[in-house]
Structure 1
Amino acid sequence: MTRPPTAAQRRLIEAADPVTGRLRGPEAQLAALVKRGLAFRHARPPHDHFLTPAGHRVREAEPGPERVEQPAATGGFAARVGGEEAAPGDGPARLREVRGAWQGMLELRRMTNPDGATDRPCGWERSHLVRAAALALEAAGHRPAGADPGDGGYRVRATPQPEAVAVYEPDGEALRACAATLEEAGWQAGEYTEPRTRARYLLASPRRV
């Protein structure tokens, strides 16, 4: 029976692009995955590595103790973007869940950013902007808005601009606190006013450097 991948190899598999299966990591680890039949090296430059069907099956298998969770992915944990109904599980358990997801995000940054940096967003966050920004806010203790349109709290929404989300918070001081949190988490955030409603909001995008 084939030995299961090591913890380091599993981390690479878990961090692969969710759509293409593209892998990033040390050459020795990638070569080991190729040898196990879990990845292949593309014949054309830049000769990137991708998961094979067997590699995808490993990724989709039940998580083991070494698995790195990908926060806010499809299914499982999802950060609150604001506007959701309150859930029965809210409270200390939710707080622990959010903090764990944020630590998982930092680990994902370390593994997938080319220089291993954890102070700026990674590729997963850039492809899940709303959920990523919401996770940074919720993990820092900001309160998401409830289902009632008049509820206070933040609301993170998509925008027509590439790589940018809008963050709404009716309380001006809380809005500025959201901006500080996002900037600390590796985002750029500027405050703007909607011409029609005069509502203040943040336009935030992941920092690249």
Structure 2
Amino acid sequence: MRKSNIKHICFDLGGTLVRENPEFVKVHNELRYKTYAKVINKPITDKLKIEYEELYKKYGTNSAIFSSLDLPSDYWQNHFNTLDRDKVYYYDPDIYKTVVALQHFFSLSIFTTIKTEAAYKTLEIGKLDSKYFQFIISGDDVKHRKPSLEGYYKVIEKTHLKSEEILYVGDRVNADIIPAKKTGMKTCLVWKKSVEADYCIEKFSELLKIINNPL
């Protein structure tokens, strides 16, 4: 299968290896605004929502926003973990089949900002066995969560490869694609398109074509 110089594929988890249900955005936003409102001790208003979205544009992730408010790096993830994952994520057979195919030819890994226990529970929703992955780096394994480059450099260190020999696959431009590119990794954005990514796919199995024909 291997025709490119890619030797290792690292995946984001939530929103990438497991799909988000249509109601995810609504439930997720409600939690974001509620958590922020509690921290700054203000009611949830349209003005507060706009304020939060401006912060999101600036910092790139929810975890980074709350860290900027001098809260622990896992503050947001502790709140995010209160969501019922079975209701916000769902199994996608195309993802499952693609990962199973890839693990026969490439070493695979996961770098996610969510906590370790939650990561394994999320994998179960996608019916993905952790044995498919050489290693899993969770938010508990880094001091600074995405979009910090810390975790991406940790991926490079663990693989003992050149950064350009690693493909990072994620669903968020600011949290996944841009920081991965800064470390020299190749990048693939799923479900949408962006000029920031080296590759963009709308169906997960298209990843097999990229690996076979990187041009």
TM-score (norm 1): 0.28
Determine which structure has greater relative contact order: mean sequence separation of CA pairs < 8 Å that are 6+ residues apart, divided by chain length.
2
**Structure with greater Cα Rg:** 1
